[in-house]
């Protein structure tokens, strides 16, 4: 059963290992959703650092220099080790780097290879006997080189303590899944709405809301935030019974439709409170509340602060 909300006992520790010529887009599609999740939950749910093999600055394929906080050998235990490599990956495939990757993987709960990063993990012997993917431009060469790895043309694959990802856009899928795993599907929907401005894209990686009925219901909910529909009327618009809608929501999102509807309205209200100069009364009306007092009570209950306090933050 999926979980609608979750609260990690401590920040999730992540190390991003950059190899020169890495993709800026791949890194941004990992870090920005994590930053958004921290911002939207007002918590330090994810704690990350940038590292390189030698602790020096990492340079992206577009010439952007990223300052590292440490060398890989200085990184202790982490929950996730992200290995980012893109162009010139074969130049990084050295015996010293393979040895350091094996040691670092032992200190990580999960090791993630992105873009051409899976190539380096496979060369280090970390993917032997496992299913993996890689940037699709490299898939044929990867298959021929690493006969002990079951390579597939997939966006994201997980096998044991290893995850592999095909590229920058797949990195966004992977990170959204990570947010859902540690904070629940409510946080994932909030981050998707922030970056995608509407319904998330249909894709195999988005199994949480792959159900067509749930997708249509979420679209209607977002469209009717100002004037929320009774659940019977919502079900009627979707040509189903209320019990059927409830069953689909609980199976896919781990919460009934009413809970999800209220969450979307409160998320919209919080965004207007924090990012606009509209009055609290106007925001209450725009988010379907009969009065500012009713919205204030709901916001205090969910976010632990009044609208005025959220705006001051």
pLDDT band at 1 (very low <50, low <70, confident <90, very high): low
The per-residue pLDDT for range 109-127, each reduced to its tens digit, is: 999 999 999 999 999 999 9
Of the three residues 179, 201, 223, the one that is the final residue of a domain is: 179
Is there a single domain that holds both residue 115 and residue 223? no
**Interatomic CA distance for residues 110 and 163, integer angstroms:** 7
Statement to judge: residues 217 and 140 lie in one domain: no
Q: How far apart are CA 189 and CA 295, in angstroms?
A: 21
pLDDT class for 2, splitting at 50, 70, 90? confident
What share of the chain in percent tops pLDDT 70?
Answer: 95
d(CA 18, CA 224): 44
Domain assignment present for residue 3? The answer is no
Q: Render pLDDT for 286-304 as a digit per residue (tens, 0 to 9).
A: 999 999 999 999 999 988 8
For 281, the domain range is 211-312
pLDDT above 90 as % of the chain: 82
3-state secondary structure (DSSP) of residue 177: helix
What is the rounded average pLDDT of the residues 6-14? Answer: 93
- Let me know whether 134 and 70 are in one domain: yes
Residues 34 and 100 reside in one and the same domain: yes
Claim to verify: residue 58 and residue 161 sit in the same structural domain: yes
47-56 residues labelled b (16+ CB within 10 A) or e (exposed): ebebbbbeee
What's the total number of domains in the chain?
A: 2
Residues 6+ apart with CB under 8 A from 237: 220, 229
Q: What is the pLDDT of residue 204?
A: 34
Q: How far is CA 309 from the centre of its chain?
A: 28
Confidence grade of residue 275 (pLDDT, cut at 50, 70, 90): confident
152 lies in some domain: yes
Mark whether 154 and 231 lie in a shared domain: no
CATH of the domain at 277: 1.10.10.60
On whether residue 146 sits in a domain, the answer given is: yes
Do 96 and 237 share a domain, yes or no? no
Examine the domain organization and report whether 215 and 175 are in the same domain.
no
Q: How many residues does the chain have?
A: 313
Q: Kindly state whether residues 168 and 237 are assigned to the same domain.
A: no
Which residue, 179, 203, 232, sits at the end of a domain?
179
CA 77 → CA 14, 15, 99, 187, 199, distances in Å?
A: 9, 10, 17, 26, 37
254 located within any domain = yes
Residue 78 corresponds to which tokens in the numbers above?
A: 């982490």
Residue with tokens 């632990």: 304
Q: Do 146 and 215 share a domain, yes or no?
A: no
Q: Would you say residue 46 has pLDDT above 50?
A: yes
What's the chain's average pLDDT? 92
Q: Look at residues 139, 157, 179 and tell me which one is the last residue of a structural domain.
A: 179
| Whole-angstrom distance, CA of residue 256 vs CA of residue 231 | 10
Lowest average pLDDT, out of 44-48, 171-175, 274-278, goes to 274-278
Using alpha carbons, select from 281, 192, 43 the residue that is nearest to residue 272.
Answer: 281
Look up the CATH number of the domain holding residue 49. Answer: 3.40.50.880
| Predicted local confidence at residue 205, as pLDDT | 34
Residue range 197-233, pLDDT digits in tens:
444 444 333 555 678 999 999 999 999 999 999 999 9
> For 48-57, how does the pLDDT look when each residue is reduced to its tens digit (9 = 90+)?
999 999 999 9
Q: Is residue 50 part of a domain?
A: yes
**Which tens digits make up the pLDDT trace of 248-271?**
999 999 999 999 999 999 999 998
Does residue 2 lie within any of the structural domains? no
Check whether residue 28 and residue 137 sit in a common domain.
yes
- Return the pLDDT at 202: 40
State the Cα–Cα distance between residues 203 and 176, nearest whole angstrom: 13
pLDDT band for position 7 (50/70/90)?
confident
Is 160 found in the same domain as 37?
yes
């Amino acid at each position: 059963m999926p979980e609608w909300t979750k609260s990690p006992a401590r920040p999730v520790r992540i190390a991003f290992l950059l190899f020169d010529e890495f993709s800026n887009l791949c890194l941004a599609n990992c870090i920005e959703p994590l930053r958004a999740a921290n911002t939207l939950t007002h918590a330090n749910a994810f704690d990350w650092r940038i590292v390189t093999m030698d602790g020096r600055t990492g340079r992206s394929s577009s010439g952007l220099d990223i300052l590292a906080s440490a060398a890989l050998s200085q990184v202790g235990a982490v929950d996730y080790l992200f290995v980012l490599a893109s162009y010139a990956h074969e130049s990084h495939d050295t015996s010293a780097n393979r040895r350091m990757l094996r040691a670092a993987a032992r200190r990580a709960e999960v090791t993630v290879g992105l873009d051409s990063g899976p190539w380096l993990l496979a060369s280090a012997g970390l993917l032997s006997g496992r299913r993996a993917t890689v940037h699709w431009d490299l898939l044929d060469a990867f298959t021929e080189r690493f006969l002990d790895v079951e390579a597939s043309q997939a966006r994201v694959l997980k096998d044991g303590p290893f995850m592999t990802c095909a590229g920058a856009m797949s990195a966004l899928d992977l990170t959204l899944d990570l947010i859902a795993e540690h904070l629940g599907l409510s946080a994932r929907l909030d981050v998707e709405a922030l970056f995608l401005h509407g319904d998330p894209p249909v894709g195999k990686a988005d199994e949480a809301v792959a159900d067509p009925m749930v997708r249509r219901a979420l679209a209607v909910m977002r469209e009717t935030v100002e004037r929320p529909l009774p659940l019977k009327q919502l079900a009627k618009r979707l040509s189903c019974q209320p019990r059927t809608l409830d069953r689909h929501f609980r199976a896919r999102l781990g919460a009934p439709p009413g809970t999800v509807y209220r969450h979307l309205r409160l998320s919209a209200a919080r965004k207007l409170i924090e990012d606009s100069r509209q009055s609290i009364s106007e925001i209450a009306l725009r988010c379907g509340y009969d009065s500012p007092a009713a919205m204030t009570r709901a916001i205090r209950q969910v976010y632990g602060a009044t609208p005025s306090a959220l705006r001051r933050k």
